[in-house]
Amino acid sequence: MTTEKIDNVSITTQANVYFDGKCISHGFTLADGRKQSVGVILPATLTFNTGVAEIMECVGGACEYKLAGTDAWVLSSAGESFSVPAHSKFDIRVAPGFDAYHYLCQYA
């Protein structure tokens, strides 16, 4: 199931822009204090570092990802998610000519 709407949030209106605009996100806080972000990744291959564990949910488009210590690229499409451990990194790629990858990131 894909998350389509999130109610009762406090959102940061200033966008986080990474990798020369290839990744743009907005952070928000849920009513219970949990922090999340929602964003989009344009066609590119990018490497992200994590401070805390993350769950990346695909809400539109698709990407391939590769977790630290692995060699295999794994496809993630709308309705699917993947987990990244804290203090780690992961590669993510959206192939040129494909739709952007739209995501919801939940921080543990």
User: Is residue 71 within 8 Å of 64, Cβ to Cβ?
Assistant: no
Residues 65-95: tens digit of each pLDDT? 999 999 999 999 999 999 999 999 999 999 8
Cα 93 to Cα 10, 55, 64, distances in angstroms: 29, 17, 5
pLDDT higher than threshold 80 for residue 64: yes
Multiple choice CATH, 9-107, 3.40.50.1370, 3.20.20.140, 2.60.120.10, 3.30.300.30: 2.60.120.10
Residues 2-42: tens digit of each pLDDT? 888 898 999 999 999 999 999 999 999 999 999 999 999 99
Q: Model-level pTM?
A: 0.92
Q: Residue 19: what are its φ and ψ, rounded to 5°?
A: 50, 55
Q: Which helix (H) or strand (E) element contains residue 92?
A: strand 89-94
What average pLDDT does this structure show over 50-64? 96
Q: Residue 12: what are its φ and ψ, rounded to 5°?
A: -85, 120
pLDDT higher than threshold 80 for residue 1: no
